[in-house]
Amino acid sequence: MDIEKTNPSLFFSHYGHHEAEPELFFAPGRVNLIGEHTDYNGGYVFPCALNFGTYLWIREIPEPVMRFASTNFDFKIQIPLQELAQKVNDEWINYPLGVIDQIIKRGSQPRGAELLYSGDIPNGAGLSSSASIELVTVQAIETLWNLKFSMMDKILISQTAENEFVGMNCGIMDQFAVANGQKDKALFLNCDTLDYELVPLELQDYRLIIANTKKRRGLTDSKYNERRSECNQAVQFIKKIKNINTLSGITLKEFLDLQDCISDPVIKRRAHHVISENHRVLEAIPALKAGHFKKFGKLMNESHDSLRRDYEVTGFELDTMVSEARTIDGVIGSRMTGAGFGGCTVSLVAQNQIEMFIDLVGDAYHKKTGLLPEFYLPEIGEGVRQISI
């Protein structure tokens, strides 16, 4: 827990004192260990919540406005309650505004409030800062406005806000992991049925290292929505032979038998990634449970290679980080994590090689890209919650 961000003086320095006291909420970031670009295809994913994320101080006020500020961005704004449904250019506040818009559409009456966000997730790094902002907002508004939402309500409010208000056609994985994370456990999630299992992340002599390429990505400006459209096209091809609703409605063996029904080679590659990635996740979970870490790492490697070759969402920086990681003894798996086009990699590294990994990979990456990477040794943390102060 970040002591500075949990000190109420941070809030008072922005908004001053008032007879009402502010309350503090927190939502984590997340890292996905394997299962990329499968969530919006109704497939399998394996994310976990992190010990860093977004803090939100919030206080009710009598004025009919909501005030938004952040310690991470200069932009701040005061919005009359009757204008909360209006998007504000491409600013960060569209994420909380989208959430509040969804809550109001569910029949709630807005009330005046002051909100201060403070995050320690690198923006645009692929660690789900957007879902973290969304979930912490819905948790705080629920408390402030005396509402009652189930955890699934909070997840769907957040996802819908990002889809419809922000314009990012994301799946449900990020919000689900941020909401339901548990300490030292990862979530094996079926994104079609939303059935999930909490799997202990007992890595023994290995450690997860997240490497930030510092290649920032803007998802709504990227090819993310294009990939989703390509997957929908693949479904239409396959439907001529087998009735499916998503690419996850077909096994890898079935796909290999009927793939020639997809006449477009690009669409075929997109489908091959999604369907083979589902297969990898289904192999990875029992491998991890049995302590077969090298097999789990091999599947991580295969995941990245498929994302590079078939799905084409990696790029020079991510591929460089992964290739340099794989040269280090004790690295048994390395892959991009998140939507791609920049952001982070996640690697499974022997405990006694961590310093060497950071030094050698960081130096080689900098020489090849001109970018100075950052490395994180995350702990697996809890989901969204209120913090007692």
**Residue among 344, 335, 353 at smallest CA distance from 284:** 335
Catalytic (active site) residue 363:
no
**Candidate list 174, 221, 260, 363, residue with the active-site label:** 174
Residue appearing with tokens 């239409």:
236
Decide if 324 contacts 298 (C-beta within 8 A): no
User: What's the half-sphere exposure (Cβ side, CA atoms, 13 Å) at 281?
Assistant: 27
> Positive or negative, the Cα torsion across 318, 27, 74, 224?
positive
Please name the residue ranges forming H helices in the chain: 9-15, 94-105, 129-144, 151-160, 173-180, 224-239, 252-258, 265-289, 293-309, 316-325, 354-369
Decide if 133 contacts 127 (C-beta within 8 A): no
Helix axis angle for 265-289 and 293-309, nearest 10°, is 170
Decide if 118 contacts 143 (C-beta within 8 A): no
Nearest-angstrom CA–CA distance, 188 and 178: 13
Tell me the CA distances in angstroms from 387 to 1, 32, 57, 180, 382, one per residue in order.
10, 25, 10, 16, 12
The helix/strand/coil state of 345 is: strand
Catalytic residues, which ones? 174
